[in-house]
Structure 1
Amino acid sequence: MFERALQVFAKKRYLFALSVLFSHAAISANIDLVIKDQHGMVLPNAVVEIGQANTAFKPTNPSVKKLPVAVMDQVNKQFLPELLIVQQGQLINFPNSDNIRHNVYSFSSAKSFQLKLYSGQPKEPIIFDTQGVVVLGCNIHDSMVGYIYVAKSEQVYKTDKNGVVSLPVTTQPLQISVWHALQTAPLENKKMMNIEPQAILPITINTSSPAPRNTFGSQFKGGND
């Protein structure tokens, strides 16, 4: 009788452990998102953020390890990288690695600023404390365009050259936002959705080709171009 009870108890423990294992595996599995445009072409550099929330920013607790200073460089009259993803409250440095001067600015609501005509290293980095998308330009070279995505969530990802990103599943359903620089929707908008776990999930973002951008006239060159 006692041995029978032990066998039943051991079996229940085994089944319980097995159920925990499978439920954990189901929750911990990844979802592979494939981001494409309306023509079926894959979209590299699409940003996917998990659990993005429109809440007010709270300054970082001094006891918490500070975020590293991110870098948005300028190389060959281009912003490098073209898309930089940072956390809300992170500092960004804007070195100019060209042998000509640039004037970096943004009129975006998430961050409006201007670094007047300079070369080399600016005086100090700039803090980006509001979530959203910041579009960068250069007053001297109008063809220079860059993007800074300021994320609220620490779980933010970028699609690879095949338009794919793998997301860890921690809750079901999963709330995400999707953004791309070429989207037809306003740049400050993000496509919000709830997704259910499955092996591969296609997502479509309507895009348009960027308008050609030309540099300003020679009156702005002044021997610096």
Structure 2
Amino acid sequence: MTNLNLHTVKKPLLWAGSLIIATASGCASYDFRQYIPGADRIFHPESEAEVGPVLTESGSPVEAGAELKPEQNQEQPEPNKPTQLSQAEPLPAAKQPEITEPQVTEPQITEPKVTKPAITKQETIQQETIEQTPTNNKSSKTVKQLANKQPEKPSSTVTKLAPKPVQTKTYSVSGKVNLIANGKAIDPEGTVITVERNDGLSLHSSTATSETYLIDMEEKTYLPAQMVIRKGDTVSFINKDEIRHNVFSSSGKNAFDLGTYGAGLQRAVTLNEQGIVKVYCNIHPKMATFVAVDDKGRSEVADSNGIFEFNQLPAGEYTLKAWNVRGEVSKSFIISDNSQHLNITIDTSSYVAEEHTNKFGKEYSKNSVNNEFY
């Protein structure tokens, strides 16, 4: 009979217990001993968001198998190929004396003699032109003038086709957003203001390219807490804590899950749908940031006093939308021949704070996992 030693069984039991607690709390559903950064992410088939690989802060890949690079191993036998070619080199060397016996190329040396008189003809032509003009300076000037006159014709035609600069007048729209609750003012910081044309035309340049933005995770906080990007832009979340985080969003077609990854790592997501994207952490429920994605309109985050301003807006009919986690409101206005100043008020008296769910759609567990990972 074998004697069971409680000291040897103690550690496996602790591991099993910690895994059960972790799974129940929604923090992770895999064995920490086989931890792979970002491998525990869930997929959203209906989403249009695109998730990239887990990278270090410098941008190098860290996912499983990324360090192996089998392509380089396949390239190693290639240096042996030139050695095989070098062994075949003496074969043409043995054939060289056979080729040198009928030196047919020797009589072909007379061919450059034909080119020499051609050169002399050109020289005589140049001499005749020099005799006609008493000085070489004048002849060079006339040649330069002729050369300069020839490209003048196409350049003049191009300038005739392009000079029609259409300059339209643009205006600015500025204002202030106020938040109130039961008649009292509330800090409006973090309110997102969006301006859109009612005719559906875009307010962005057609030559604008997609950009990448950074959000830091530091001291269990997203920095910045609000961000404005364009449709098709990328947001990279960098973990600057010594613990792990799990970035996710359940916002419709912008839903995504970056999985759990630790300190010094980052992962990016490209957001391809317009709207407000609410981003949370599946481990720390108080972590939140909000990303406003524009399509044809323009957005910005109001400052701590609620001040906002949009410049270079053409005349037309517009709709201004103000969004805050406590409430939202919209207002129509017209730009005709003057800039506009608007005051916006959001009444948040009916706002009730609700705890959001984790990435599985369940409540966060009150029992936290107490270890070095979180």
TM-score normalised per structure 2: 0.44
Q: Is the 8 A contact 2:175 2:344 kept in 1?
A: yes
Amino acid at match of 1:104: V
**Partner in structure 2 of residue 116 of structure 1:** 259
> Is residue 132 from structure 1 mapped to residue 281 from structure 2 by the alignment?
no
**Partner in structure 1 of residue 118 of structure 2:** none
Q: Is the 8 A contact 2:214 2:235 kept in 1?
A: yes
Higher strand fraction (1 or 2): 1
Q: How far, CA to CA, are the matches of 1:65 and 1:166 in structure 2?
A: 21
Residues 193-202 or 92-101, more deviating: 193-202
Q: How far, CA to CA, are the matches of 1:54 and 1:103 in structure 2?
A: 40
Q: Is the 8 A contact 2:231 2:273 kept in 1?
A: yes
Q: How far, CA to CA, are the matches of 2:315 and 2:192 in structure 1?
A: 20
Distance 1:73 1:107, change over 3 A: same
Q: Provide Cα deviations, 1:104-126, integer angstroms capped at 9, x if missing partner.
A: 1111114111122111223x521
**Partner in structure 2 of residue 146 of structure 1:** 289
**Partner in structure 2 of residue 202 of structure 1:** 343
Structure whose CA Rg is larger = 2
Amino acid at match of 2:175: L
Distance 1:105 1:160, change over 3 A: same
> Is residue 95 from structure 1 mapped to residue 238 from structure 2 by the alignment?
yes
Higher helix fraction (1 or 2): 2
Equivalent pairs, count: 186
Give the secondary structure class of the aligned counterpart of 1:130.
coil
Q: How far, CA to CA, are the matches of 1:89 and 1:216 in structure 2?
A: 35
Q: Is the 8 A contact 2:197 2:317 kept in 1?
A: no
RMSD: 3.0
> Is residue 193 from structure 1 mapped to residue 193 from structure 2 by the alignment?
no
Give the secondary structure class of the aligned counterpart of 2:255.
strand
In the TM superposition, residue 179 of structure 1 has moved relative to its aligned partner by: 1.3
In the TM superposition, residue 150 of structure 1 has moved relative to its aligned partner by: 0.8
Q: How far, CA to CA, are the matches of 1:95 and 1:198 in structure 2?
A: 40
In the TM superposition, residue 131 of structure 1 has moved relative to its aligned partner by: 0.6
Q: How far, CA to CA, are the matches of 1:53 and 1:73 in structure 2?
A: 36
Q: Provide Cα deviations, 1:181-221, integer angstroms capped at 9, x if missing partner.
A: 221x6xxxxx3321246664211112236457897444434
Mapping of 1:1-225 within 5 angstroms?
24=169, 28=171, 30-38=172-180, 39=183, 41=185, 43-51=188-196, 64=207, 66-119=209-262, 120-122=264-266, 124-153=267-296, 155-168=298-311, 169-183=313-327, 191-196=329-334, 200-207=341-348, 208=351, 210-211=353-354, 216-225=365-374
Q: Which has the higher contact order (CA 8 A, sep 6+)?
A: 1
Structure 1 runs not aligned, ≥5 long:
1-22, 56-60, 186-190
Q: Is the 8 A contact 2:250 2:256 kept in 1?
A: yes
Distance 1:221 1:193, change over 3 A: same
Q: Provide Cα deviations, 1:46-92, integer angstroms capped at 9, x if missing partner.
A: 2122216798xxxxx9xx55322111221110111111111101111
Amino acid at match of 1:176: L
The percentage of aligned residue pairs carrying the same residue is 20
